[in-house]
Structure formats: C-alpha cells, structure tokens
A and B are shown apart, each in its own frame.
Chain A
Amino acid sequence: MTAFKRIDKPSHINRTKQISFQFDGKMFNGFVGDTLASALLANGKTLLGRSFKYHRPRGIIGAGIEESNALLTTGSDGRTEPNTISTTAELKSGITAKSQNAWPSLNFDLMAVNQLLSPIFGAGFYYKTFMGPLKKSWMMYEPIIRKAAGLGAAVPDVDSARYEMRYMFCDVLIIGSGPAGLAAAVTAARSGARVVLVEQDFEFGGSILSSGSEELERWRKAQIAELEKSPEVRLLKRTTAQGIYDQNLAVLSLTPENHPALKITEQLRARTIIMATGAIERPLVFANNDRPGVMLASALRTYLNRFSVVPKKRAVIVTNNDSAYSTAFDLAENDVAVTVAEHRGTLSGNLLARAAQLGIAIFPNCGIADVIGEKQMRGVRLSGRHAVTIECDVLGMSGGWSPAVHLTSHGGIKPKYNEQIAAFIPGGFAKSHFGAGAINGTFGLLAAIREGDAAARAALPDSKKIKEFDLPAVREDRKYSIQPIWNAAEKSNEKYAFVDFQNDVTVKDIKGAHQEGYFSVEHLKRYTTLGMGTDQGKTSNVNALAMMADLRGLPLSQAGTTTFRPPYSPMTVGAIAARSVGLRFKPKRLSPLHDWHVAHGATFIEAGLWMRAWFYDWAGKTPEEAYIKEMELVRQNVGISDVSSLGKIDVQGSDAAEFLNRIYVNGFAKLPVGRARYGVMLNDDGVVLDDGTTSRITDTKFYMTTTTAQAGEVMSWLEYLLQMHWTDLNVHVTSLTDEWGGMAVSGPNSRRALQLAFPEIDITNEALPYMGVIEFKFEGVEVRVLRLSFSGELAYEVHCSADYTTALWEHILKAAELLGIKPYGLEALASLRIEKGHVAGADLDHRNTLDDLGLGKMAGKDKAYIGKELRFREDCQAPERWSLVGIESMEEGAKLRGGAILFAATDEIKGHGRGYITSVTWSTELNKYIALALYNGGLKHEGEDIICAFPLKNENVKARIVSPHFIDKQGERLHA
C-alpha cells in the first residue's frame, strides 16, 4: 500500500538521467536531482526505520537537514556511513542503503517489544531503574539495553576515505543561498569584493526550489548566472557552515565533486559574515504524530514542487499558522484531495476564498486527536467539536517556523523570543555579522530579498555605488499569522505524543521531568535527552522548552534556551583530522645521516620528533643483544655515532661572553678561544633547565650545544631574555641544529681513527687537549672537532655542515676501517653515559636542582647567574630532597628497571618509597645491571642496601647505593 506517487509535473529532477540504487537489498530507480528520500517516497517506501528506544515504525518527516527519523546506513566496509540523512543525501548511482535499528527486518522488528515496556523506559529510566539486586548490576544490564537501543552502528573498519583541509580568506561570507542569501551574494559581488556563498544543499536556491513558481525559478537562475560570471566569487554547493569561531573563522564542510578527497574541511576567514540560514518548520505535538506518513507540511510542498512526488489520493493538513496553506493549495492544484484541520478560529478572507475555489474543506478550532495506522498511517481522528475520522495517505503538520539561529549562538549570543511570530530570533549580531531573511523572522520572500541586499551593502560600507537590485515579478508577501500551540495532545494519550522524534521523548517525559524537579532548560535537555540526537533538536527544542515554560507558568521570554554548539550538522571525524592521520600526524625529523643509517642496517627509535638510529644489525638482531656489543666496541676500540640531533646555537656579538656568563651557573666570561666548557643553566625558579657544552670560536663567537629534547625550549628562552629584558646586550642567537651535522668518534682508538682520516691535521694530545676545539678545512668543507666525551672514553665530536656530513662520515669509516671502526646507536650511546655517570634528559626532568644532580659545586659563588636567588629557597635546599646516586644490582639474573621505586632494605614495600631509578643499563665493565637514580638524602646513604620495587612486574630486586660514576673515576681515559 503505497502512499506516494511520482507525477509528470516538471520539477528539479532530470528525467532523462535515471539512477538505480539499493535499499534493504532491493533495487529501485530514481533520477538525477532526487535525494535518497524523494526517490524512496516515489517508490512507495514510507517505512524506513525503527525509533531509538521504542522501535516504533518511522518514516520521513521532512525534506532537509531537520530530518530526525529517516536515517539510513549507506556504503560498506571502510566507507560505511551510519545515520546518513536520507533527505539531504544526493541520489547517486550505485548507492546502497540499509535501514537501521530493526531486527530481523523493518517490517517485523522483534525489538518492538520495547514499546510494551515503555512505562519502564521513560525519560531518565537509567537513573531510577536497573539498579539491583547487586551494586554492580547495572554493568550487566547495560550491554543488553545498549544493544536494544540506538540508530546506526559504527563499523570497526578503518575509514578508507581521504579528507583534506584548506585555509581560505574572503571579504564577505554568505551562508545560505535562499532568496536572502542570493540577493546578498549578488550585491556583494557587484561591489568587486571577494565573496564566498555556501549552500548545504546540492542546488542553490533554498526555499525557492520548493516554490513551484516559474518566475522565481527564472530569477534564481539569473542570480546564479551572474554570480558564476563574477571572478572574485566562490560558489560552494554541498557545503555546510559547521561553526563560527573567534575573529570570524568559519569552518565549512564540503563534499567536492571529481576530487580525490571525499570531504574537504575549509577554515575560512571572512571580514564580514551574512547569515541567511532560513528557518525550520516545527511539528505539532499530538498522539501518534510519529507515524510514517505524518510529515512537516512544507516538506510535502518540497516533494511536490522539487521532486514531483505527491500523496496518492488525499492529504490532511493540520496547522496553527498561514504558511501551511501554500502546501494545501499546491497539492490541490495537482489533483490531491486536501482537508485542513485549523487550530485557529478565524482565517483571512483571501485564504478562505482560495480554499473554496480549490475544493479544500477547512475545520476550524480543530487539531488532530489521533493518527490511525502503524507502519503507514491511513487516517486521522480530528479533535475539538468535529470528532470526525478522515481517511488519508499523509498528514502534513505545521506548528510554525523556527529561525535557524545556531551560528549566532556559537558566538555566545542567546536567542530572544519574538511574540509576533512565536519564535526565537537571534538575540543580536556580533560586529561584522549580519542576518537576512527568515533567520530574522522575516518570512516574506520579497522582504527577505530586500534584507539580503541591505545586509550586503551594510557589510561593505566603503564600496562604490553598487547597482540597484532586481526583484522577481511576484505578488507582494502575505502577512504571517500564527497562534502558538505548544502541546496539542489530549491528556489521555500524552505518552504517544512525541516531542523529540529521534530520541523518543514524549509529552509525558517532559511533564515527568517537571514533576521530578528537572525544570531548568539545561536539566530538561539532559534528563530527557531531547535535542541530543544527531538532529540536535532542530524540530523539537522550541516545542519542548515552550511546554516547560507553560508548566512553570513562565513567559517564554524568561524560560531560557540551551546553547547551540558546532558542528551544525553531523561531521565525520576523519574530515576534522584531514591529512593528520597515521604517520602524517607529526612531522619526522631526520638527521643528515638518515639515509646512510637506513642503508646500513639501522633500526630506528623515536626521540621526540627525531628518528634516531637505535642500534645496527652488525651488532645484533635485538636491541638487548646489539647495545652490549656496541658498548664493548667503544670501551675497547673505537665507534662512531650520529649526534646531529643535538641542539646547536650560534651565539655572536660583542656581549656574547657576558650573556653566556649570565645564563650558565658556571663562568664563561673568561673561556679561552679554542676551548669548550660543560655548562648547566637554570630557569628563573632555580631548577635545572638544560645542560650542554659551549665552545669559544672567537672572542665574540660561541658555539653552544643543548640536549636534543630541550633545543627548542632553550632557543626560545635565550631569545626571550635578549628581546624582552636584556635589550642593551649586543648579542644575536641563531639555531644551527639543521646547519651542522655531528658525529661522536669514541674509544681508546678514537685519536688513531681521526689521524687516519685527517693525516694533515695535528690531533695530538698537545694540539687538541681534553675540552679543546680545532677547526680546519677538509676537501673544501669546514670541519670543527671538539674533544668532548659523553661516554667517558677518549672521544671527539666532529661537526661539519649538514650537506657534507654523510660524505665526511663515510670518509672516516673508510680511513679507519683497518682499526675495526663501526657505527653505534642511541641505545649504546645512552648506556655508555650512564656508566660514566653523566646526567641526561631522563634525569633533567625540570624538578631537579643542581644539588639534586650532584652538580652544586659547579655554580660560581661570586658571580650572578639566572636562578641563583631562587635556587636557595627553602624547598630547594631541604636536606631530605632526593639527589643523584648510582645503583648496582646485587641479584644475579635480576633486571633493574627504569622507574623502579626505591626503598631502604629495612622499609616495608608500601607507598611512595624514597626515590626512583631514572636510567638503567647493563654494564659491560662491571658485568651487572647498574642505574642512575634519585634517592632521598642521596650519597649520604652510599654503601647502603636497598630494594628496587617494580610492582607492574611484581619484582623486588636487591641493590646497593654507590657513586654514580661507575668507571674511570679519575678521568684518566678522558685525558689520554
């Protein structure tokens, strides 16, 4: 029994282009220009889904973004889209759509049994029921209840679509292409401004598309043609303005055609914004107003005039305002029998006359008492004096119109109630924002066009004279008259009178909320869940809060509204992420030697944004195997390691030495040229910020290094000091992290290796002592060698410009091949320094002071340095603060672990302990696990037995506190 049919009347569908699509496994036909909904209606499908909680049969209610019922799942696998709004989905060849929330089928849904349990499933039921018999019982009920409710199902597949982001700018953004929006766009375009017109539909024209007027259609086409010819106008169909943010940022969601991306998110900065977003029709609230076949009156008009789809025989229209008569008259003119149930007692003479002409019967002072039929309505029973039952195919309802004020709400402006049109209009507009047309409560077509034109002129006050606007040759606007009826249900069947269709919220629920004390709008919303569905209450909000205001005896203007937030319509998360997915989420930072490491068996590890060579396959297949071999190579022979990621900063100027002297705790003013010095810097609060080695290249030029992790922080810190406070210092700082690459050549044979590589250069102990710096040119490239050691062995750092680092590295490897030199990675690099007792990133965690790290003696007593004052505050000097110690494992076979919590041997293993392990390694020298740690009281406890507790693996390992310098305490190897 089909309630609709397609007729021959010309409209916006293209009958020469037929499309086939699938719904619930069956094939159907439609046309280019159809939506999924109009094509389904034309094919007689009115039952399209089952409601959220009660599994009531549901069909299409509207013809646009306000649709709350007809949500379908389209696509498959990685391109499945649940909750597709069928009334806005453009019909395309090959679409497969499935109904949702019904099992085993739409027609025979077993879960409809929920309806019988509706007394239990009222609003807020989960606060009042399903709580026993045990405390945790809800956890048992919840999965079952969740399965029984819902709309579309998400799929576990990865979203296989591509999404893109872009950033654009314009002078005027116009949102909505109905009469007001088109007029605004044309006027703005004529001024030469950069204009963007966005329209969520796949056709421009807004309400004009539903008008059926030839003259309006001509006018619409003329405006579009003019806009298409204007070079500075961007016309964006299939584009929704999802939100307006600070400083006129509009976020648009586009569905492009013929583009590799499925959706494009555009961040558009507009100098001015004109909102011509129109208005959305309200339903009326009466028993069984959710049955398939009960629709918004304006939607019936759209299906007729835009898609050539009409009710088969008879339509009943129920209304409280004049606008529904446009539907009534248009249907009647297309051979549909129409009857009107009119809530009001009087009507304008013009409307009565026209109705009479068309043979339309009107019942005044009358609404709908009930709707007959379940899976498809087949009749209505009128309320009021005329207790008549009328057989019909559809019921069109109109409770009035609500301006789409959402975008003004995004900016925090609360809507205000307008008695005359019984609706909420924007409470105001921010500076540089304007509204035109139905959004303002201006429902007349010509008035809307005039407002659009005026808004554009107001938005561009400095434009030269703009040509006068052409109005369409149509009759002057009719006045809009309405009598608000918020609750038209009879008391006896309020529990079947739906206010929010998508979340199954009825009048009974609203009264229940009021009774239980949830009467503020914010509580009403969250307690009943009305307005919280994918439609965000587009057809329910106003009716509901008006009902609550009535219950509370408040005028609507005082009832308050909830806040609309972006996005305006559902948006796929992928579109927000755009290309920031997977490996593209963060940029990768690569050393100049990266390609060499790849080609020579390196496994990489992430260190912040850097990809660093972790270990090499010559040393082993796993990191545990490899790092030990690499460590042994360095301790016994010579290895080469990539240290290019270190922060390197160029510090130059006549005051450079003074500057460094102020920021480091130790002295730098008298550092000789050709020498390097280890330095530690504190923050203003007296806590360690970073450490590094700074070399003096000339009197006024220094080469500073920082840790990899803190390079950016330190750079910004130095710039801050020089630019905001010490502006009198003549110093310039520039990052050289990318300009220079660096390699550490370490081990007892490192000098020999460099001598083989650079036979012309004097690298003897005298020419290049410990902490010395030399520079020379090698094959046209500047090379800087610093005798520094991170590992504790005789070692050098060789730096040169990044473009030549690979060539120089390869040269050293080749020249020193006969020694057995090989590369070693980050794991070994870190392990070597732990054995030596050098602090590094893991120990410098921005809570530790100089004294905590055992470096207190470094600080100059008589010189000023940043952090000196607060370094001595009480908390930083507390005697039981933790400080750096070494740890030796006393249990053979047991591992020490980073993060292990330390206890004295006599402590109960409970609570916070006395410290923790910061870095661990296997010591190839001592043949056991060692660690650096922070321990309350530090080296006062040297020699004591402790326990390293690691609760995650249930391990308690016996260990002992020792000096953090495990090898070469006298530094003999360093000074070799």
Chain B
Amino acid sequence: MLKRVSALASAITFTGNGLNIAEAPDFTLTQYAGSEKELKKALGKIPARMSVSLEHDRRTQLRINPTQIWVIGEPVEAEACISTPLSSSRTRIVVEGENARFVLAKLSAIDFHPKQFKADTFVQTAIHHTPALIHCVGENAFHIYAMRTFALSVWEAVTDAALEFSA
C-alpha cells in the first residue's frame, strides 16, 4: 500500500504547560452538497444551522454553509446529493488544555470565552491569513482544520502563539 505522508512531517513538536498541541490525523472528511431536502435524505438528520456541530450515526456533521455539510467519519452512500472527498485537503491540529483559549485568542478575532464558544460549536475563520475551521470538542479542547498546503505555516503560528505556555 502507498504510504501516507503528513503535511506536518517536518514540524517541530510542542510541549506545553496546561497545553497540548499535536496533529490529530486519521480522519475521513467528505463534503455533501445539496438542498435541505436532499441533505436530509442523504444523511438522515442534519444540523439546523451553522456554527453548531451534530453527532449523528457515529459521524460528526459541520454545516459550513446553507447548502454544504462536512461529514467526519465513514462516508455515506448518498445518491441524493453531491459528494466531494476532502480527507487530504485538511490537516487537523488539536489544541487542548486550560490555556488553549488564550492561544486561540491570539490567532483570530473571535470571542473564545467559554460561555460564547463551548463544546459542539465551530467557526470558520482565518488563522495567519489562511482559512481554518475551529471546532470546540470539549471543555477546553479544540480541533483546528487547516488547509493542507498551509498546515506547516498554521502549525508554526499556533505553536508560536503558545510560546508563553511552553514547558
């Protein structure tokens, strides 16, 4: 089998206090597009709106715009709507720990206060001038989906922002 190579293969690892930053690889991402009806038919249940993620049928759904949903997990047999595999297009970075929110606040002009950005919320924003999706997956745990070609730059921006918390 052909070997998979990570976009962060040459990235310098990070060790922090109250902070863990690492690649979280091994995920399958498929984008499904269509009307509200078509998406419901293909996926069963879909998120009612953007910015809130949905766990359904052992998959995570992120509605990135009114007609497109990212599904993280096993792809769905969906004739009703248009599907586009995107597993290679993003590199996923996990940022977690009590200091995680302070790091995020240096990367994007989004309010990351625990009451405003809690588990199962996500935003699409810019990190270091590149498009990124930030998904809150726990009390102080976040997944950043960076574009693969920008992944190393994003990694450097994130770990640099975390300098004050490095061990």
> Which residues of A pack against B, CB within 8 Å?
162, 164-169, 194, 259-261, 267, 269, 579, 584, 586-592, 595, 598, 610, 644-645, 650, 652-653, 700, 732, 734-740, 778-781, 801-808, 811
Residue contact B113 to A194, C-beta cutoff 8 Å: yes
Q: Contacts A737-B149, A738-B148 known; A803 to B87 CB distance under 8 Å? A: yes
The answer, yes or no, to whether B111 is at the interface (CB within 8 Å) is: yes
- Which chain A residues lie closer than 8 Å to B150 at the CB level? 587-590
Given A590-B7, A592-B5, A803-B4, verify A738-B160 contact (CB < 8 Å).
no
Closest residue of chain A to B165 (Cβ to Cβ) is A260
Tell me the complex Cα distance, A653–B35, Å: 12
B167 part of interface (Cβ distance < 8 Å) = no
- Complex: A778 Cα to B1 Cα, angstroms: 8
A588 contacts B152, CB within 8 Å?
Answer: yes
B67 and A732 contacting across the interface, CB-CB below 8 Å: yes
Q: Which of B46-54, B78-86, B92-100 contacts A (4 or more CB under 8 A)?
A: B78-86
Q: Is the CB of B5 within 8 A of A803?
A: yes
Known contacts: A579-B160, A738-B89. The answer to whether A592 contacts B148 by CB under 8 A is: yes
- Which listed residue (A167, A588, A589, A811) contacts B2, Cβ 8 A? A811
Extra contacts, 15 of them, besides A167-B109, A588-B153 (Cβ < 8 A), are A167-B110, A169-B116, A579-B161, A584-B128, A588-B152, A591-B149, A595-B9, A598-B10, A644-B149, A645-B149, A736-B89, A738-B89, A778-B2, A802-B149, A808-B2
B41 at the interface (CB under 8 A from A): no
1/0 per position for B138-167, CB-CB distance to A under 8 A? 000000000111101110110011011000
Interface footprint category on B = 35 or more
Pair A652/B33 contact, Cβ less than 8 Å = yes
User: For chain B, what secondary structure do more than half of its interface residues adopt (helix, strand, loop), or is it mixed?
Assistant: loop
Contact among B2, B109, B152 with A804 in the assembled complex (CB-CB below 8 Å): B2
A653 vs B38: C-alpha distance when bound (angstroms): 13
Cross-interface CB contact of B88 among A167, A261, A801, A807, cutoff 8 Å = A801
> Given known contacts A586-B129, A588-B152, is B164 in contact with A806 (CB within 8 Å)?
no
Pull 27 A–B residue pairs with CB atoms less than 8 Å apart, ordered by A.
A162-B163, A164-B161, A167-B105, A167-B106, A167-B109, A169-B111, A267-B109, A584-B156, A587-B154, A587-B157, A588-B150, A589-B149, A592-B88, A595-B10, A610-B149, A652-B82, A652-B84, A700-B82, A734-B33, A736-B86, A740-B88, A778-B2, A779-B2, A802-B7, A803-B87, A804-B5, A807-B2
Tell me, in angstroms, the Cα distance from A644 to B88 when the chains sit together. 13
Closest residue of B by beta carbon distance from A194 = B113
B32 to chain A, nearest CB (A): 10
Known contacts A169-B113, A587-B153; is-contact A732 B106 (Cβ 8 Å): no
How far does the Cβ of A583 sit from chain B's closest Cβ, in whole Å? 9
Tell me which of A584, A587, A590, A778 has the highest count of chain B C-beta atoms within 10 A of its own C-beta.
Answer: A587
Q: Give the complex CA separation of A318 and B80 in angstroms.
A: 87
Interface residue B3 (Cβ < 8 Å from any Cβ of A): yes
With A194-B113, A587-B130 as known contacts, state yes or no: A165 contacts B106, CB within 8 Å. yes
Q: With both chains docked as a complex, state the minimum distance between the C-beta of A402 and any C-beta of chain B, in angstroms.
A: 34
Nearest A residue (CB) for B163: A260
Q: Which A residues are CB-close (under 8 A) to B128?
A: 584, 587
| B contact residues around A801 at 8 Å (CB) | 85, 87-88
Q: How far is the CB of B145 from chain A (nearest CB, A)?
A: 11
- Select from chain A the residue with minimum beta-carbon distance to B86: A739
B 5-31 to A, binary, CB cutoff 8 A, 1 in contact else 0: 111011000000000000000000001
Q: Is residue B61 contacting chain A, with contact meaning CB distance below 8 A?
A: no
B2 touches A738 (CB 8 A): no
User: B149–A590 contact, CB under 8 A?
Assistant: yes
Number of CB contacts from chain A to chain B under 8 A: 131
| Minimum Cβ distance to chain B for residue A742 (Å) | 12
**Residue of A734, A739, A806, A808 with most partner-chain B CB within 10 A:** A739
Q: Which residue of B lies closest to A778 (CB)?
A: B2
Instruction: Tell whether A261 pairs with B89 under 8 Å between CB atoms, given A586-B129, A595-B5, A732-B68.
Output: no
Name the residue of chain B whose CB is nearest to the CB of A599.
B10
Q: How far is the CA of A737 from the CA of B130 in the complex (A)?
A: 14
- A259 contact set on B, CB distance < 8 A: 164
Chain B hits for A169, CB < 8 A: 111, 113, 116
> Which residues 27-78 in B have Cβ within 8 Å of A in the complex?
31, 33-34, 67-68
Q: Tell me the complex Cα distance, A955–B6, Å.
A: 49
By a CB distance below 8 angstroms, the chain A residues around B164 are: 259-261
In the bound complex, residues from chain A placing their C-beta under 8 Å from that of B161 are: 164, 579
A653 touches B82 (CB 8 A): yes
A732 touches B33 (CB 8 A): yes
B88 touches A803 (CB 8 A): yes
- Complex Cα spacing A162 to B33, Å: 45
Of A167, A595, A598, A652, which is within 8 A of B108 by CB? A167
- A804 to B6: give the CA distance in the assembly, Å: 9
Distance between Cα atoms of A801 and B31 in the complex (Å): 15
Across the interface, which residues of B come within 8 angstroms of A811, CB to CB? 2
User: Which residues of chain A come closer than 8 Å to B153, judged between CB atoms?
Assistant: 587-590
Say how far B7's CB is from chain A's closest CB, in angstroms. Answer: 7
Take A579-B160, A803-B5 as given contacts and tell me if A739 and B89 are in contact as well, using a CB distance cutoff of 8 Å: yes
Task: Please name the residue on chain B nearest to A701 by beta carbon.
Answer: B82
What's the Cα separation between A734 and B29 when bound, in Å? 14
Q: Is B135 an interface position by the 8 A CB rule?
A: no
> B33 to chain A: which residues have CB within 8 Å?
652, 732, 734
A residues less than 8 Å from B9 (CB atoms): 595
Which residues of chain A are within 8 angstroms of B31 by Cβ–Cβ distance?
734
How far, in angstroms, from A652 to B148 measured CA to CA in the complex? 22
Distance (whole angstroms) from the CB of B108 to the closest CB of chain A: 7
Docked CA distance A588–B154 (Å):
9
> Considering residues B4, B34, B108, which has the most beta carbons from chain A within 10 angstroms of its beta carbon?
B4
How distant is A556 from chain B, measured CB to nearest CB, in Å? Answer: 41
B85 cross-chain contacts in A, Cβ below 8 A: 739, 801
- The residue that A779 contacts in the complex, of B1, B148, B160, with Cβ under 8 A, is B1
Residues of A within 8 A of B149 (CB): 589-592, 610, 644-645, 737-738, 802
**Cβ–Cβ < 8 Å partners of B87 in chain A:** 739, 801, 803
How distant is the Cα of A717 from the Cα of B86 in the complex, in angstroms?
Answer: 22
Query: Bound complex: CA of A160 vs CA of B47, how far in Å?
Result: 49
Q: 10 closest Cβ contacts across the A-B interface?
A: A739-B89, A587-B153, A732-B33, A167-B109, A807-B2, A738-B89, A801-B88, A169-B111, A802-B88, A738-B148
